[in-house]
């Protein structure tokens, strides 16, 4: 393959492109969050069990986990910027199907279409974001993730305000939003060829490690992603049920608590990228996952006055890790930006889906409160991050008279 040119536009022209991509990511992840946010309504109107709700999440995430690495692998070799607007059309089709679904089978098909659209969007969207902010990969990934988390956080807030709206009407509104996202991304592809560009960055020492050390580091990153996203799957899918059962909240109030948690994740994602550029990948991963442990362990035991504050702290701290994990993996496998992005986004989908399905079965057997207690131990796996290789981005935290620490 011939080398692709690097992005050389000035910063004041790059920023609008990066913001546009982040806005499209917000629309994409809003669709992803619609079904989980609708779970209490679907359970009451259609009599779905916890296991069926978990299977809905599994369908969406299984398709995402399988398709995203394939899309990334293919587009590393043959850039396809036109896939970005096509992803929105696929999402819109899923929302239309959601409007007409009359039972569990229809909801499963809608989840499959949404998963396919998201699979197409994430690898190319991540590549375009990195190209739009060459030289600041942490900032680029942070802004890209910020858009997605804003969309995810908006879903429960939106549904809390339109809870009385029929599902069919909500589905058509979401389809109209998909058309808006398609127009947004089509304008990006037409006015900028940047989505096809492979950003040229200085080589990282991580890419020069022996193959055995790379495999070890990638394995640790996979385990850390597992701990992070199974825990997040527990909260994203069952937090409202936990609040309703533990504190007798109504659905609207529980949705607002879920919105607050997802908003905290949004803030954590925004902070994570600049921290990566400042402190380095390894250090941010350790501080993020391990730092959430005490708050996660305290959440199942918290009083109503503390549960909101603890969930906010957990969201901010644990969300800052993904940019560092993704960038470290891309440094370990240079020249495979799309494949790595697709693989890790797909991994998060698969882990979240399998985790949601398994947690749903456990909730049917032991109850929602019990599974929150079990899941709260998962961030302890952050201790494994101490075994990751140091990278060239690690900066000293403190400067003393006699040296640097």
Domain segments of the chain as ranges: 14-395
**For residue 352, is pLDDT > 80?**
no
In this predicted structure, what is the pLDDT of residue 349?
66
Q: How many residues are listed for the chain in this entry?
A: 405
**How high is the mean pLDDT of the chain?**
77
In this predicted structure, what is the pLDDT of residue 147?
80
**For residue 341, is pLDDT > 80?**
no
Share of the chain above pLDDT 70, in %: 81
Q: How confident is the model at residue 59 (pLDDT cuts 50, 70, 90)?
A: confident
Q: How confident is the model at residue 398 (pLDDT cuts 50, 70, 90)?
A: very low
Angle, in degrees to the nearest 10, between helices 167-191 and 11-46: 160
Model pLDDT for residues 270-280, shown as the tens digit of each residue? 787 778 777 77
Who's near 197: CB < 8 A, 6+ residues apart?
Answer: 4, 5, 6, 7, 131
**For residue 373, is pLDDT > 60?**
yes
CATH class of 14-395: mainly alpha
**What pTM, to 2 d.p., does this model score?**
0.64
> Which pair of tokens denotes residue 63?
């398709």
Mean pLDDT of 187-200: 54
8 vs 51 pLDDT, higher one: 51
Model pLDDT for residues 94-134, shown as the tens digit of each residue? 888 877 887 888 889 988 888 888 888 888 777 777 777 66
Q: How confident is the model at residue 393 (pLDDT cuts 50, 70, 90)?
A: very low
Q: Where are the alpha helices (DSSP H) in 162-250?
A: 167-191, 211-247
Who's near 371: CB < 8 A, 6+ residues apart?
Answer: 234, 238, 359, 362, 363
Q: Which helix (H) or strand (E) holds 403?
A: strand 403-404
Model pLDDT for residues 133-175, shown as the tens digit of each residue? 666 777 777 778 778 777 877 776 676 655 556 666 777 777 8
**For residue 7, is pLDDT > 60?**
no
Mean pLDDT of 284-301: 86
């Amino acid at each position: 393959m011939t080398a692709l040119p690097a992005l050389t536009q000035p910063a004041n022209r790059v920023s609008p492109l990066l913001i546009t991509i982040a806005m499209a990511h917000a629309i994409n992840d809003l669709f992803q969050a619609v079904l989980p946010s609708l779970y209490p309504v679907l359970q009451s109107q259609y009599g779905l069990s916890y296991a069926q709700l978990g299977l809905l999440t599994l369908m969406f995430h299984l398709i995402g986990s399988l398709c995203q690495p394939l899309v990334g692998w293919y587009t590393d070799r043959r850039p396809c910027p036109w896939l970005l607007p096509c992803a929105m059309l696929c999402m819109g089709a899923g929302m239309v199907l959601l409007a007409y679904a009359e039972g569990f089978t229809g909801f499963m098909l809608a989840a499959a279409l949404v998963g396919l659209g998201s699979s197409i969007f994430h690898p190319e969207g991540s590549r375009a974001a990195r190209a739009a902010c060459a030289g600041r990969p942490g900032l680029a990934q942070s802004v890209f993730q910020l858009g997605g988390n804003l969309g995810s956080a908006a879903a429960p807030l939106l549904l809390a305000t339109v809870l009385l709206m029929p599902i069919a009407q909500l589905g058509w509104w979401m389809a109209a939003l998909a058309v808006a996202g398609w127009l947004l991304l089509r304008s990006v592809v037409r006015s900028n060829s940047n989505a096809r560009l492979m950003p040229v960055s200085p080589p990282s020492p991580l890419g020069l490690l022996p193959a055995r050390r790379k495999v070890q580091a990638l394995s640790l990153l996979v385990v850390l992603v597992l701990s992070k996203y199974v825990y997040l799957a527990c909260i994203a899918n069952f937090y409202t049920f936990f609040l309703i059962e533990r504190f007798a909240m109504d659905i609207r109030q529980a949705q607002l608590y879920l919105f607050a948690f997802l908003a905290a994740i949004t803030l954590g994602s925004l902070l994570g990228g600049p921290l990566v550029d400042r402190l380095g990948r390894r250090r941010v991963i350790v501080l993020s996952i391990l730092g959430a442990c005490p708050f996660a362990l305290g959440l199942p035991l918290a009083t109503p006055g503390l549960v909101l504050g603890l969930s906010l702290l957990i969201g901010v701290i644990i969300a800052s890790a993904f940019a560092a994990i993704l960038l470290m993996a891309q440094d370990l496998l240079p020249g495979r930006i799309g494949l790595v992005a697709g693989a890790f986004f797909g991994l998060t989908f698969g882990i979240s889906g399998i985790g949601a399905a398994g947690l749903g079965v456990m909730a049917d057997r032991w109850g929602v409160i019990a599974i929150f207690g079990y899941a709260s131990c998962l961030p302890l796996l952050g201790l494994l991050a101490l075994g990751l290789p140091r990278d060239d981005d690690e900066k000293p935290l403190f400067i003393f008279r006699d040296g640097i620490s």
